[in-house]
């Protein structure tokens, strides 16, 4: 190992994540420290853990003669964990919710575009406007078309500011819930029943003069 060697500051690979992403990070570290081919093999081995370490332990002795052999065997074995790139069609499945704020929709859209690096500006503009609800921003895009996707996002920022200010005003103008409680009346005594008519008549005996 080279003098003053330090392990690369990358996360260990256990076989559950994208192998190409791990290999890309290792290449950058190897380029920075100028590892030789033999050192690459030894250092890359130390970045494996869990099931990836068990996979290496099961390789035939002498099956890896250079780092290129190591890379090919590594990618071939963990191909099921690769993160495949999404196509442009995935962008057109995004829809803004009927009550979803514009900021939330843009955030979801940008997250998906990171997995579609081949999408050009025209595709992004078309997919973004296709998923918008028919509000004021949507009508403005039709009346005043923009030139590229960055300009579309810049215009959306102005509508986001207005949207959030209006939401804040509605929250302030909303009357507070009523705290007045109905007055409690003193309990009334139960109503006394009136005597029946036959009970109110005097009692006569035969010897008395009617």
Domain containing 162 equals 88-173
Q: Across all residues in the chain, what is the average pLDDT?
A: 84
3-class SS at 13? strand
Q: Are 99 and 64 members of one domain?
A: no
CA dist., res. 154 & res. 121, Å (int) = 14
CA dist., res. 42 & res. 36, Å (int) = 10
- Other beta carbons less than 10 A from residue 100's beta carbon: 12
CA dist., res. 152 & res. 155, Å (int) = 5
3-class SS at 49? coil
Average pLDDT over residues 135-146: 90
Best CA proximity match to 138, nearest among 159, 124, 164: 159
Assign 164 a pLDDT band (cuts: 50, 70, 90).
confident
Contact 130, 180 (CB under 8 A): no
DSSP 147: S
Average pLDDT over residues 76-90: 81
Residue 44: its pLDDT value, please? 94
Q: Are 99 and 148 members of one domain?
A: yes
Contact 22, 13 (CB under 8 A): yes
Q: Which residue has the higher pLDDT, 183 or 67?
A: 67
Q: Which of 32, 51, 81 is the last residue of a domain?
A: 81
- Let me know if residue 13 belongs to a domain: no
Q: Are 92 and 61 members of one domain?
A: no
Average pLDDT over residues 147-176: 85
CA dist., res. 116 & res. 131, Å (int) = 17
CATH of the domain at 105: 1.10.1200
DSSP 40: H
User: Which residue do the tokens 């509000």 mark?
Assistant: 135
pLDDT exceeds 90 at position 192: no
CA dist., res. 153 & res. 106, Å (int) = 8
CA dist., res. 37 & res. 122, Å (int) = 43
Domain count, the chain: 2
Residue 81: its pLDDT value, please? 78
Contact 43, 109 (CB under 8 A): no
Average pLDDT over residues 174-189: 63
Best CA proximity match to 5, nearest among 50, 45, 41, 35: 35
Residue 125: its pLDDT value, please? 93
Q: Are 106 and 160 members of one domain?
A: yes
Percent share of the chain, pLDDT over 70: 81
Q: Are 92 and 169 members of one domain?
A: yes
* Tokens at 203, concatenated: 């009692």
């Amino acid at each position: 190992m080279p003098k003053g060697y330090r392990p690369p500051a990358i996360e260990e690979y256990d076989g559950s994540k994208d192998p190409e992403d791990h290999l890309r990070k290792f290449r950058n570290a190897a380029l920075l420290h100028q590892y030789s081919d033999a050192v690459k093999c030894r250092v890359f081995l130390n970045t494996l853990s869990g099931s990836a370490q068990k996979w290496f332990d099961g390789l035939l002795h002498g099956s890896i003669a250079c780092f290129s052999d190591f890379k090919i065997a590594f990618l071939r074995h963990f191909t099921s964990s690769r993160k495949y790139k999404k196509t442009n069609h995935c962008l057109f499945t995004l829809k803004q919710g009927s009550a979803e704020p514009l900021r939330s929709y843009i955030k979801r859209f940008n997250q998906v575009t990171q997995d579609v690096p081949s999408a050009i500006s025209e595709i992004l503009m078309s997919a973004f406007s296709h998923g918008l609800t028919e509000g004021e921003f949507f009508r403005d895009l039709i009346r005043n078309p923009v030139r590229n996707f960055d300009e579309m996002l810049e215009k959306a920022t102005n509508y986001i500011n207005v949207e959030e200010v209006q939401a804040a005003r509605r929250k302030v103008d909303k009357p507070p819930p009523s705290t007045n409680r109905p007055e409690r009346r003193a309990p009334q005594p139960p109503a006394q029943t009136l005597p029946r008519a036959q009970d109110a008549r005097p009692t006569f005996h035969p010897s008395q003069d009617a």
